[in-house]
């Protein structure tokens, strides 16, 4: 295998992996802490992507800058959704198991709602824009600069998030809450605020990933679900409830996916599902799980 | 003669030893108490007996038959039933339905529904829940929930009852009633093996007591012998004052 | 004073009404238009899916999202064997194959509980969909298939029979010892196990039984659509809709499941023709609203409605 090919597959895998890591971390926050397996996660990605698209095509706002606009708005929306709907559901549920089930179903409803509002707003046609797609040559492999930038941003956000989780007080609180809500409360973590914040943070990561995606891929209101599925698989791969694990899971999936696409296009989704099912049957607790 | 016998029972959880070569036996008609500090491995031992867990090594025999590694429902059908530290009732079913469940699927697998219903009503009366058959189990007080769990376990026609901290969370008056109930159970012909932290209660009704500490049996004997045992006193330093209350 | 309303709630009405409905349905091909028959078959299909799904997932609380897989298996059996074997045999094989696959699925996913089981079933359904698609594209060379058409009246009666049998089986199970055991599993699987219930065996067999009629329904409906491909046959909506319909109508009772399936299918019909752009959006709103405000489904409205009626009309 030539060096070019190797770089091609590796860098491609890292780009995909970086994106998947962000998306997976977002879902992991929502499930690990707030206990909502949010199947509408991909719709927040879509919102971030389409919002960035609109800001660029209508107002000429740099996609990288628009992160600053779209991010907080989606954060706020998600925070509101959690504190009105999911918190109410949680209070009405007799057990955490029941809440996980009903919140899963409620997030399906959310999926329909968000997707169809986006459909009304943006229409079903495929959209896209080109931004900064100057060619960059890496050891013989050629990439659009936008992809490299997206990779750098994804890695940057990912690393920043990782350090935040490991070294900051708030981040440690999040990881504690994801592991054991009751004990976390005992050591002083304000759980009620934490749930909503983590849910919103998860949506924020999704929106950021969406913005990065918008510069690289085609966009439609239907683009969300495949990413949600990948996020779920990555989260399980890393270990349900383990946020750091989801970052790793996302990266692994991205690299494998890119490799499979290279070997036989069209098989990547099947590969993801096959890995997923085998994982559940053999080691459902994932890589980092006990 | 022992109705339940455990030989060199060992259980590892990864690197943690929950049970280390524990030998134990319970004779028919006895009330045997199982005590030890928190984390001593008492509930683990019950889980090993009832089939929730399989031993890493060693054997467990019931009425002469090797039951090591059998599944919970198989063990239930052979005549062992249990209650749980954290009550596991069928919350959204009625009190009567909970007991009926034990009757219909337990050792006897009572075939006629009407017979099962009669038996269940009688058991409800036995444990002191008569007249409450139509109430949803989740709406009962904790003390009553524990009684219901006992009734459900007995409905399976078990010969050996494993009671896991039935008195936890009960006030002194309720504890006294629970002690009476356990005596009634033994008088009815069921053997009792019980885990308890309420010292006064368990010392009072047990024929024999087994003491576990870090997964090892450190003492065995009558309540008097145990109360004077040096090893036990050492382990329970300070617990005697607690037993007074 | 006897009013039409008081008649409606009376006991004799409750036995008389279903019989009347059945008679009307059985004689429908005589007086109803083809369009009505087709709509009715559609309603029957969703009733079969919803009630079948609820046979296992209702009492046991194991939410399966694999209904599309079993429905789709029936569809493909019809597509592949439709011109080789007689219609009733094809329908039966559709159900049988679903049953066998479900047994396999159940056996392999034994140890999974709660959320893990749910996402496993969803992943499985999607894996089947993508795999069939890949196979058809790369191995057989065709993505879609044509299904031998069958007379619409026969389709109608086939669905009517299947829906009746499904409801009958569901009712029998719910009143039986098996149903009781399943409810115990749903409330506390550990306790049920310790009270003598062979939880694994019962879960697997009930899950498999619940998929039989899904497969038969798929085999029948395929002949109506005549053209099928993996995206149609294994459409994930066939997994989500039964869940939504059961919750909407009231998951605890078969009547509720039937009402939920009927109401939402009719609603979908209306929305698709009048407001196609708002159809999915409305579904989403309904789902969220029901989960938040009416977790017991429409059936939970019975008691309040009765109270309101009694306060308003009974002196």
Hey, where are the domains in chain C? 1-28, 32-236
Measured N-to-C along each axis, helices A169-179 and A191-214 cross at an angle, to the nearest 10 degrees, of 100
Task: Report residue A218 as tokens.
Answer: 């085609």
Q: Residue C242 pLDDT > 70, yes or no? A: yes
A89 touches chain C (CB under 8 A): yes
pLDDT tens figures, A16-43: 898 999 999 999 999 988 889 999 999 9
Q: What are phi and psi of B214, to 5 degrees?
A: 50, 40
Q: ipTM of the predicted structure?
A: 0.91
Indicate whether B50 and B149 sit together in one domain. Answer: no
Long-range contacts of B128-132 (CB under 8 A, 24+ apart): B128/B177, B128/B181, B129/B95, B132/B95
Interface test with B, best of C194, C199, C202 (most B CBs within 10 A): C194
CB contact set of A152 (below 8 Å; sequence gap of 6+): none
* Model confidence, pTM: 0.89
* Cβ within 8 Å, pair A105-C247: yes
Statement to judge: residues B147 and B32 lie in one domain? no
State whether B129 and B33 are in the same domain. no
Mutate to test the interface with A, among C230, C279, C281 (most CBs of A within 10 A): C281
What is the dihedral angle through the alpha carbons of A178, A180, A182, A186, rounded to the nearest 10 degrees?
Answer: -90
Same domain as B135, residue B212 = no
State what percent of residues in chain C have pLDDT above 70.
96
CA nearest B76: which of C193, C178, C184? C193
H helix or E strand, kind and range, residue A137: strand A135-138
Encode pLDDT of B33-57 as tens digits.
999 988 888 999 999 999 999 999 9
**Three-state DSSP state, B62:** strand
Q: How far is A267 from chain C (nearest CA, A)?
A: 8
Owning domain of residue B13? 2-79+159-244
Name the domain boundary from B155, B183, B212. B155
Overall number of domains in chain B: 2
**Are the CB atoms for A7 and A141 separated by under 8 Å?**
yes
**Looking at the predicted structure, is the pLDDT value of residue C204 above 80?**
yes
Structure-derived torsion over alpha carbons of residues B75, B79, B83, B88, reported in degrees to the nearest 10: 60
Q: Cα distance from C190 to chain B (closest Cα, Å)?
A: 8
Distance from CA of C252 to the nearest CA of B (A): 12
Concatenated DSSP letters of A181-242? HHHHHHTT--HHHHHHHHHHHHHHHHHHHHHHHHTTS-B-TT-HHHHHHHHHHHHHHH-TT-
Q: Out of A3-12, B43-52, B70-79, C141-150, which region has the weakest mean confidence (pLDDT)?
A: A3-12
Decide if C94 contacts C78 (C-beta within 8 A): yes
Residue C224 has pLDDT above 80, yes or no: yes
Q: Do C123 and A280 touch (CB under 8 A)?
A: yes
Cross-chain residue pair C295–A102, CB shorter than 8 Å: yes
Contact C188, B74 (CB under 8 A): no
Q: Do C183 and B76 lie within an 8 Å CB cutoff?
A: no
Cα–Cα distance for residue pair C191/C202, rounded to 1 Å = 15
Q: Are residues B174 and B235 in the same domain?
A: yes
| Helices A145-167, A243-263: inter-axial angle, 10-degree rounding | 160
Residue A130 confidence (pLDDT) above 80: no
Q: Find the residue in C nearest to B73 (Cα).
A: C196
Quote the minimal CA–CA distance from C144 to chain B in Å: 48
Task: Indicate yes or no: CB of A267 within 8 angstroms of CB of C119.
Answer: no
What are the phi and psi torsion angles at B92 (to 5°)? -90, 5
Chain C: nearest CA to A89, how far in angstroms?
A: 6
Residue A172's φ and ψ, nearest 5 degrees, are -65, -35
Domain boundary residue among B112, B129, B155? B155
- Average pLDDT over chain B, rounded to an integer: 90
**Do B8 and B55 share a domain, yes or no?**
yes
Rounded to whole angstroms, the Cα distance separating C25 from C294 reads 30
For residues B75 and B163, state if they share a domain: yes
Which residue from C61, C123, C292 is facing A85, i.e. has the nearest CB? C292
What are the pLDDT digits (tens) for C105-133?
999 887 888 888 999 999 999 999 999 99
pLDDT, one tens digit per residue, over C265-280 is 998 888 888 877 788 8
Q: For A259-271, how does the pLDDT look when each residue is reduced to its tens digit (9 = 90+)?
A: 888 888 778 889 9
Q: Residue B82 corresponds to which tokens in the numbers above? A: 């249990």
The class level of CATH for A3-282 reads mainly alpha
Collapsing DSSP states into helix, strand and coil, what is residue C46?
helix
End-to-end CA separation in angstroms for chain B: 36
- Does residue B84 lie within any of the structural domains? no
pLDDT one-digit tens code per residue, A49-71: 999 999 988 888 887 788 889 99
Nearest to C194 among B82, B91, B92 (CB): B82
**Half-sphere CA count of A214, side-chain side, radius 13 A:** 30
Residues B218, B165: one domain? yes
* pLDDT score of B241 more than 80: no
Same domain, B209 and B115: no
DSSP class per residue in C259-273: HHHHHHHHHHHHHHH
Pairwise CA distance, residues A255 & B159, whole Å: 59
Total number of residues shown for chain A:
290
> Which residues from C are below 8 Å from B88, CB to CB?
188, 190-191
Chains that touch C (3 or more CB pairs under 8 A): A, B
What is the reported pLDDT for B81?
A: 96
- B222 & B238 share domain: yes
Give the whole-angstrom CA distance, residue C75 versus residue C21. 28
Task: Give the pLDDT mean for B175-204.
Answer: 92
Q: Which of A259-263, B212-216, C206-210, C300-304 has the highest mean pLDDT?
A: C206-210
Instruction: Please tell me the distance from the alpha carbon of residue B126 to that of residue B147, in angstroms, as a whole number.
Output: 10
Domain boundary among B103, B128, B155: B155
């Amino acid at each position: 295998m030539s060096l070019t090919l190797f770089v091609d597959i590796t860098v491609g895998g890292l780009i995909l992996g970086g994106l998947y890591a962000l998306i997976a971390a977002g879902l992991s926050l929502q499930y690990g802490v707030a206990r909502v397996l949010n199947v509408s996660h991909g719709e927040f990605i879509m919102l971030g992507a389409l919002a960035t698209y609109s800001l660029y095509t209508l107002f000429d706002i740099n996609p990288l800058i628009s992160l600053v606009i779209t991010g907080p708005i989606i954060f706020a929306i998600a925070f509101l959704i959690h504190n009105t709907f999911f918190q109410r559901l949680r209070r009405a549920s007799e057990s955490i198991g029941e809440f996980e089930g009903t919140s899963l179903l409620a997030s399906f409803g959310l999926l329909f709602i968000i997707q169809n509002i986006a459909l009304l707003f943006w229409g079903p046609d495929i959209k896209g824009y080109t931004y900064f797609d100057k060619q960059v040559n890496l050891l013989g492999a050629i990439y659009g600069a936008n992809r490299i930038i997206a990779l750098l941003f994804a890695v940057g956000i990912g690393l920043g998030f990782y350090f935040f989780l490991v070294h900051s007080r708030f981040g440690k609180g999040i990881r504690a809450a994801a592991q054991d809500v009751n004990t976390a409360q005992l050591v002083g973590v304000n759980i009620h605020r934490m749930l909503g914040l983590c849910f919103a943070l998860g949506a924020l990561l999704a929106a950021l990933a969406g913005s990065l995606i918008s510069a690289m891929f085609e966009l439609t209101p239907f683009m969300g679900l495949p990413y949600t599925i990948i996020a779920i698989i990555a989260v399980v791969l890393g270990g349900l409830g383990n946020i750091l694990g989801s970052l790793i899971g996302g990266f692994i999936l991205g690299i494998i996916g890119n490799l499979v696409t290279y070997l036989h296009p069209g098989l990547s989704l099947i590969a993801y599902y096959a890995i997923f099912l085998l994982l559940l049957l053999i080691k459902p607790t994932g890589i980092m799980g006990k | 003669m022992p109705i339940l016998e455990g030989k060199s029972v060992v259980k590892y959880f990864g690197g943690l030893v929950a049970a280390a070569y524990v030998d134990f036996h319970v004779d028919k008609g006895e009330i045997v108490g199982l005590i030890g500090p928190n984390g001593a491995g008492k509930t683990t031992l019950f889980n090993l007996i009832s089939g929730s867990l399989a031993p890493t090594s060693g054997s467990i025999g019931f009425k002469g038959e090797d039951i090591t590694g059998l599944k919970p429902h198989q063990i239930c059908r052979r005549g062992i039933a249990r209650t749980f530290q954290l009550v596991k009732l069928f919350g959204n079913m009625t009190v009567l339905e909970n007991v009926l469940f034990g009757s219909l699927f337990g050792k006897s697998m009572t075939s006629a529904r009407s017979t099962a219903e009669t038996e269940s009503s009688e058991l409800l009366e036995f444990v002191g829940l008569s007249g409450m058959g139509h109430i949803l189990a989740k709406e009962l007080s904790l003390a009553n929930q524990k009684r219901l769990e006992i009734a459900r376990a007995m409905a399976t026609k078990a010969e050996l009852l494993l009671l896991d901290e039935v008195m936890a969370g009960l006030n002194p008056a309720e504890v006294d009633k629970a002690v009476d109930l356990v005596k009634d159970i033994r008088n009815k012909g069921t053997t009792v093996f019980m885990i308890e932290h309420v010292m006064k209660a368990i010392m009072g009704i047990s024929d024999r007591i087994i003491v576990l500490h870090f997964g090892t049996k450190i003492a065995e004997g009558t309540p008097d012998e145990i109360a004077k045992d040096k090893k036990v006193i050492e382990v329970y330093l300070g617990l005697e004052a607690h037993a007074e209350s | 004073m006897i009013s039409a309303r008081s008649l409606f709630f009376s006991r004799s009405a409750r036995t008389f009404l279903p019989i009347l409905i059945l008679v009307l349905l059985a004689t429908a091909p005589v007086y109803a238009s083809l369009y009505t028959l087709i709509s009715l078959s559609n309603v029957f299909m969703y009733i079969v899916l919803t009630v079948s799904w609820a046979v296992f997932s209702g009492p046991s609380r194991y939410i399966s999202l694999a209904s599309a897989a079993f429905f789709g298996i029936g569809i493909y059996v019809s597509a592949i064997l439709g011109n080789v074997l007689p219609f009733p045999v094809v329908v039966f094989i559709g159900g049988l194959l679903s049953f066998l696959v479900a047994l396999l699925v159940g056996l392999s996913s034994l140890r999974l509980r709660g959320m893990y089981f749910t996402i496993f079933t969803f992943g499985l359904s999607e894996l089947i969909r993508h795999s069939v698609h890949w196979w058809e594209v790369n191995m057989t060379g065709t993505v879609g298939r044509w299904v031998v058409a069958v007379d619409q009246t026969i389709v109608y009666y086939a669905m009517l029979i299947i829906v009746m049998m499904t409801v009958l089986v569901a009712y029998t199970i719910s009143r039986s010892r098996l149903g009781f055991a399943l409810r115990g599993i749903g409330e506390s699987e550990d306790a049920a196990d310790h009270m003598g219930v062979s939880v694994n065996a019962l879960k697997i067999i009930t899950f498999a039984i619940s998929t039989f009629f899904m497969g038969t329904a798929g085999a029948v409906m395929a002949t109506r659509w005549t053209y099928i491909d993996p995206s149609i046959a294994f459409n994930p909506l066939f997994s989500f809709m039964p869940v939504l319909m059961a919750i909407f109508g009231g998951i605890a009772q078969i009547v509720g499941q039937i009402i939920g399936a009927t109401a939402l299918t009719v609603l979908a019909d209306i929305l698709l023709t009048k407001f196609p752009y708002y159809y999915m959006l409305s579904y989403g709103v309904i789902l969220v609203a029901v989960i938040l405000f009416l977790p017991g489904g429409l059936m939970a409205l019975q008691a309040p409605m009765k109270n309101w009626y009694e306060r308003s009309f009974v002196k």
